[in-house]
Structure 1
Amino acid sequence: MRHLFILIVVSFAVISCNTTKNLHSEEFGQTQQELTEKLAQISKTASFNGFGVALVNDNEVLYQNGFGVSNIKTSARYTENTVQNIASVSKTVIGLAMLKAQELGKLNLDDPVNKYLPFNVFNPEYPEVPITIRHLVTHTSSIVDTEAYLTRNVVLRDTINLVHNLSIDISPTKFNPPSTKTSLEGFLKNLLGTGGEWYSKEAFSERKPGSIYEYSNVGASLAALVLEKAVGTTYDAFTTQHILSPLKMNSSGWSFEAIDFSNYSPTYQDKQTPYPYYSLIGYPDGGLLTTSSDMGKYILELMKGYYGKGTLLSEQSYKEYFTPQLTAENFINRSASEYSDEYNMGITMGFGSTGNFGHTGGDPGMFSVIWFHKDEKMGRYFIVNTDWDSNLSGKDQKAIYDLLDEYYIKLDSLSKVTE
């Protein structure tokens, strides 16, 4: 879903930093412990039920942990093995998958999407201008999120308290009953294919494809469908084979059936009120379920890839992944904030105005962010399981980020892993 940016969480702490401690000095372990204790102290008064973090340099995971409460009903603690939906951070996987498929000779980023789709997609204002894969992964396709997409994408897991749960306000989206769940292809065909049940010209902006940056969740999911047709298997199967499994992200997956649901954290409207369990029909644009431990592996691979040491893609593919694709002419209202991921775009990876990069994500009851500081060679992951309290959460966020930044310097200087 459309990502939020300012958020962060806290509560209790669970001490379990499974980095390569055997390779490190006693001082390294003590420094990790200090960070854990300080984050745990913040968690006691924070405005969130639970959160997870991971911290990497360009060689190893320096720290990963979980804090607070995962499930208020069972009093389960939030640990580095707690599973959550990471929302739009999931989109960064689409870029990796596309480049892997390109390496395998299955597609080219500059191919028209209609080369692969079983239904035609075109902007009715510019029917002669092909929408390409590159347009989709850089949010310049002219495809936009309509009310039909927003109000049909989020589906409840079960029918428990169905009448009440359907009435919960999660504007601009809404919860839908389990019976409405459909295939990714059927969903997108009804939204974007002429003659589709929910098709509208409003699904396309008045901008020429390739010209203007307009963040699009449905466009990202369409990219995943293009990939499916190009490689001949489902998006979840392809990304599991080529991304999750090679990185040993064994606790991660794209559905409740693919993960250990006993480790899954509910998300919360506030510290007392859980949301019902839900999933996304357009799961590629925001539905990866994962843990802080697995995300440590993921952001480490991305950091290595940026410096030419990645294992998932070739050095050339990673260079394309991390190359800003747009110019000032592609933006109408360009975000110049240092920590915004919408100053420029790589292949689904966002760039801030300083050249640092990452992606944020937000769905009902949660927020996530990966962010990379290229000069410091620091990668950071952060996720929370509670809606942001506008009066309190900003202070919690700053306190946590300040600690992570401070202790990154210490842990990085004590790091023993080299190439």
Structure 2
Amino acid sequence: MKNTFYLLVAALIMLSCQTRDNAATSKRDYSFLTDSLYIDKQLEKYKLPGFSLVVFENYKIVYSNQVGVKSMDSKAKLDVNTAFSTASITKPITALLCHILDEKRLINLDEPIDKYLKRWRLPKSKFTENNSPTWKQFLNHTAGTSQGEFEDHYEGDVIPTIKQSLLGQPPKICST
């Protein structure tokens, strides 16, 4: 009887471990993120071509949903392989990372960004000649700096260096 009891306890422990393992590896349902937003209606209301949402967990994609088309003058639907301009996508990611660095006291969002720059300096302009903009000013677009015309780059394109990109310069094409 005692051996049967221990065998039963061992079986329950093994089943418990198996259940926990299955729960840890099963995918969560993230559809509520897009279902509750009525994406189709929002796209129509704001005259936007499409929307894509990707959720990462432990560096892996665990949910992906694309709605709409690639551009207003295209009927090509968005899919998991649709490329987006990184200039727009990186803004919220950069802001989040800056807030994390501020929370860890590695930067101070109220201090001038020039204090943290090592290899490059902000170009002087009438907006920055008397003061150096802070992180917060950059994050809320009140730093007095502007750079338009970010380009999308595709395979085979000549890509500008980081410095060229920061200065808004086109890439130099090397002759061969």
Q: TM-score, normalised by structure 1?
A: 0.22
Higher alpha-carbon Rg: 2
More strand by share: 1
Larger relative contact order, structure 1 or 2 (CA cutoff 8 Å, min sep 6): 1
